[in-house]
Structure 1
Amino acid sequence: MMMVRDEAELVDCVRGAQGRLSLCGGATRGLVEGADALSLGGLSGITLYEPGSLTMVAGAGTPVAEVEAALAEQNQRLAFEPMDHRGLLRTNGEPTIGGVFAANVSGPRRMVVGAARDFLLGVRFVDGRGKVVSNGGRVMKNVTGYDLVKLMAGSFGALGALSEVSFKVLPKPETEATLVLHGLSDREAIAALALAMRSPFEVSGAAHVPQEGITLLRLEGFEASVGYRLSRLKELLAAQAGEVEVLGAAGSAARWQAVRDVDAFHRAGGDVWRIACKPSQAPDLAEAAKADAHLFDWAGGLLWCRVGAGVDLRARLGTFDGHATITRAAAKTLKQLGRFHPQQTGVARLTAGLRDRFDPRGIFHSEIGGLHAG
């Protein structure tokens, strides 16, 4: 594996590439076969942090843990709650902030605060010609090159190698708590989550874990506010709830980390798929999937399924409003089915145009057929 230590080395590496390059940060998602691995982990370090303006600038290879530690000292956080894939993919390495934005990694809070790409303010990257491109700014009001910043988030290295990212952060809430409903079916749970999300009680997490028979609703904010909203939410869901319990701050944080990282699938075998869909379609899709296990996040907008090795889950699901992505599977399955959902003709044409523009030599190897919202 090649590793670059600064942007100048990255430029030289891209310009001198004789074959295809597979970009990685901490290699937590594994390496793509058929290409030379190029690690951006050496592009590390926080170069600017302004807590008062809620902005940070860091090298793409900066470990997420380092970013989160710096933010915690100022009682701030990455509000989009990025998933840690290591347990699910059974890999080592260190997740990097560039990898988070390149894959648009967003966790349970995405449905209320937005995805990782919504917090990305600016980027520096090296395109396929070895040219350094700087785009965006350090404040949300700066819309210069706004579209290009968005394109890099979720591009999975298909357009260029990120060297630096600037992004927005948010304050941590004073406390959190989770309302746990027991014994609901998938359809009952999705209905309860929808009712909670329509309420004025500012739910920041909404998930259903069928394996454990629990439905989860998270509230965050000032302690008095959380207590009040929790009691009102219990009243609202009284008819649907059955058995109810409340998790305090520590228990709530641990539970949502498990949902974020899909802990329930870590030790079991089989392939893992991630399906983005309309919440109203989620129960039907879960039924059609005939999965060994499944889990709902984003109030049903995100469905995780664990199926047997090599199963074509897209064929089982049929046509629906969304996309199904393989998160964990053998190389043979990835080659046969493709990691990402096939794009519509018009979108595929636009994607091909973008790749021709930014990587005319076709050196950036990416399993992605195009660019996805994530």
Structure 2
Amino acid sequence: MPETFIPAGNSDVADVIRWAAAENKPLDLHGHRSKAGLGRPAQHEYALDVGRLAGVLEYEPAELIVTLRPGTQVSNLEKQLAAAGQMLAFEPPDYGPLWGQPAGRGTMGGAIGCNLAGPRRFKAGAMRDHLLGFTAVSGRGEIFRAGAKVVKNVTGYDLPKLVCGAFGTLVALTEVTVKVLPAPEKTRTLLVFGLDDTGAAAAMAAAATSPHEVSGLAHLPAGIAARSGVGYVGQSGRAVTALRIEGTDISVTARCQALRDLLGGFGELEELHSMNSAWLWREIRDAACFVLPQDRVLWRLSVAPMAGAAVTAAIAQAVPEAEWYFDWAGGLVWLSLPPAGDAHADTVRNAVAASGGGHATLIRADAAARAAVPVFQPQPAALAALAARVKQSFDPANILNPGRMAAGA
């Protein structure tokens, strides 16, 4: 186990990083480790645990902003926001159980570092679209601020977007300000039964391009739907295409009926209300159907929505044991495969490339596989060189989570 530093505030974080840079000692920067299985495995002699830098510092419901420490648990923040009738619109998922961790331990720092977003992503954007500003410590041990505590801010470089998805390789966050939005008054989910992947893509495209403002579009093939456990959804034995509608009571009722009229020709329709609807979208958000068995390889593919069916068909031809489902109107594919030393990387990435391109991220595999193949989509040479220059500018000694995103980084 690495020796761990547990800072109490900004100055402590800066002191540790300055020491590590001077002594050339790489640091494992982490919070509650709920996503420690995501990324390349790395070994460090020292760790910087910012998980105890937690708590809401300022919450202005009328201004739709909240300022907090990065170690604040997402689940705790969501409870506080819900009490005020508000929410994190990007719907951060809870992936901890995918790696055998307890549910509900994910932090806001982790959500930012991994740029997480749930089923509302195609409508509300990702984490990077909701981070307004932050205070952080660079790899030089310098404390600095970026962005602002207001929604309308266009001054300077957009550094908040840069740190989202950086996996702690650029800075150590110590304070963040996030935009929040009012929670919907009513939520319903319209279900279409029995569609194959291609038919589901067409139905989701029709709903997505309609004026009815859907906030969730997912398709569960029959085998996945049977494991969903939501009443007759799990008992139907058929594939389920789910469309979420949110808003005021009268608006949701009218839009549900309009979607029924639009999609009636695709198949049998049913509706889920309130608790059942929320439960289904949590299952979709967290990839709960793939928590077990833990030895299965798990990929997360970002493709053109209409290309998902072709991608999964090509992969299934090569790996018949493949299982999958679609989110983001088909643009996000969750893919589960049997264990393999190379995590089926060539099969997966070749199928994505052959269907118009995209990104394939290895979410779960054993340490040997994550060390052997690129966990994240390999970057073109020019983009990789740019990323290296950005890393050099923020962390010239290469001490913040080196090797987490790419070998030799």
TM-score grouping bracket, smaller chain normalisation: over 0.9
Equivalent residue number for residue 138 of structure 1 = 149
Give a deviation string over 1:317-353, Cα, whole Å, max 9, x none: 4124211001111010000012111001111011000
- 1:282-309 deviation per Cα after TM superposition (whole angstroms, max 9, x unaligned): 1111112225210100001100100122
- Which of the numbers 68, 91, 108 marks the counterpart of 1:97? 108
Gaps of 5+ in 2: 226-238
Is contact 1:273-1:305 (8 Å) kept?
A: yes
1:238-249 → structure 2 map (5 Å cutoff)? 238-240=264-266, 242-249=267-274
Are 2:127 and 2:164, in contact at CA under 8 Å, matched by a contact in 1?
yes
> Equivalent residue for 1:271?
297
Letter in 1 for 2:19: G
Task: Give distance in 2, aligned partners of 1:30 and 1:157.
Answer: 12
Separation in 1 of the partners of 2:157 and 2:213?
Answer: 29
Which amino acid in 2 is paired with 1:151? L
CA RMSD of aligned residues (A): 1.5
CA distance in 2, matches of 1:74, 1:4: 31
How far did residue 314 of structure 1 move? 4.0
Q: Distance in 2 between matches of 1:317 and 1:368?
A: 17
For 1:51-62, what aligned pairs fall within 5 Å after superposition?
A: 51-62=61-72
The one-letter amino acid of 2:284's match is V
Instruction: State percent identity of aligned pairs.
Output: 39
In 2, the alpha carbon distance for the partners of 1:22 and 1:327 equals: 19
Distance in 2, Cα, partners of 1:264 & 1:62: 27
Residues in 2 aligned to 1:143 and 1:189: alpha-carbon distance in whole angstroms: 40
Secondary structure of 2:265 counterpart:
helix
Structure 2 vs 1, CA of residues 203 and 327 (structure 1 numbering), >3 Å: closer, same or farther?
A: same
Structure 1 partner of 2:125: 114
2:31 maps to a residue whose letter is: G
> Which string of whole-angstrom CA distances, capped at 9 and with x for unpartnered residues, describes residues 165-202 of structure 1?
10100000101000111111000001100000010100
Is 1:15–2:26 an aligned residue pair?
no
Q: Which residue of 2 aligns with 1:33?
A: 42
Q: Does 1:78 align with 2:95?
A: no
Query: Which amino acid is the alignment partner of residue 313 of structure 2?
Result: E
Give SS of 2:399's match: coil
Alpha-carbon distance between aligned partners in 2 of 1:146 and 1:300, rounded to the nearest angstrom:
33
Question: Matched residue pairs, number?
Answer: 369
Letter in 2 for 1:30: A
Please state how far the C-alpha of 1:146 moved relative to its aligned partner: 4.3
TM-score normalised by length of structure 1: 0.95
Deviations 1:61-115 (A, max 9, x none): 1111221121111100000000101121211372111111111110000100111
The residue number in structure 1 matching 2:397 is 361
Structure 1: 5+ residue stretches without partners = none
TM-score by length of 2: 0.87
Q: Secondary structure at the match of 2:339?
A: coil
Quote the residue 1:306 is aligned against. Answer: 336
Structure 1 residue aligned with 2:232: none
Q: What one-letter code is carried by the residue in structure 1 that aligns with 2:43?
A: G
Identify the residue that residue 64 of structure 1 maps to in structure 2: 74
CA distance in 2, matches of 1:106, 1:284: 24
Partner of 1:181: 192
Inter-partner Cα distance in structure 2 for 1:316 and 1:43: 39
Would you say the 8 A contact 2:68–2:175 is kept in 1?
Answer: yes
Cα distance between partner residues in 2 of 1:172 and 1:201:
18
CA distance in 2, matches of 1:190, 1:237: 12
CA shift digits 1:26-68 (9 cap, x unpaired): 1101264312332111111111110001000001111112211
Moved more, 354-363 or 26-35: 26-35
Matched, 1:332 2:368: yes
Note if contact 1:206-1:297 (Cα within 8 Å) is conserved in structure 2. Answer: yes
1:249-298 Cα shifts (integer Å, max 9, x gaps): 11110000000001110112411000011112111111122252101000
Match 2:255 to one of 214, 221, 229: 229
**Structure 1 contact 127–159 (Cα < 8 Å) conserved:** yes
